Amino acid sequence: HSSEPWRVSVLQRLRQRHEDQIEPFSGYEEAVEGSSWAISGQC
């Protein structure tokens, strides 16, 4: 399925969703601590 046009479109739109709805709010607190999404690191 990896080259099916609908699959390519879905992945593009999911990435766009990330750019629009998540990246601009990267300073917000995570509701779930230690989530697998949050990037951990040291200052």
Partner 1 sequence: MAEDREILREVWDGRVPVCVQLASEDCNTLSAPDPYYLMVPRLSYFPLVMDKVRKHFLRLISQDLQEAEMWLESDGMPLKWHYPVGVLFDLHCGGASLPWALTAHFSHFPEQDLIRCPTREVVESHFMSSLKEADGLKHRGQIITNMQSKDHKQLWMGLCNDKFDQFWAINRKLMESTPEEGFKFIPFRLHCPFQAPIQRLIRPLTEDGRRVTLADLLLEFLSVPSQEGDRVMIQGIEVPHDTPLQWLSEHLSHPDNFLHICYISVQS
Site residues for partner 1, 16-35, by CB under 8 A, read 16-18, 20-22, 24-25, 28-32, 34-35
Shortest distance in whole angstroms from residue 12 CB to partner 1: 9
The residues, ordered by sequence, that sit 6+ positions from 16 with a Cβ below 8 Å of its Cβ are none
Task: Give me 39's structure tokens.
Answer: 């990037």
Specify the residue, 31 or 43, whose C-beta has the smaller distance to partner 1: 31
In this structure, what DSSP letter does residue 40 have? P
Distances (CA, A) of 35 to 10, 27, 39: 24, 15, 9
For partner 1, the binding residues (CB under 8 A) are: 1-2, 5-7, 9-11, 13-18, 20-22, 24-25, 28-32, 34-37
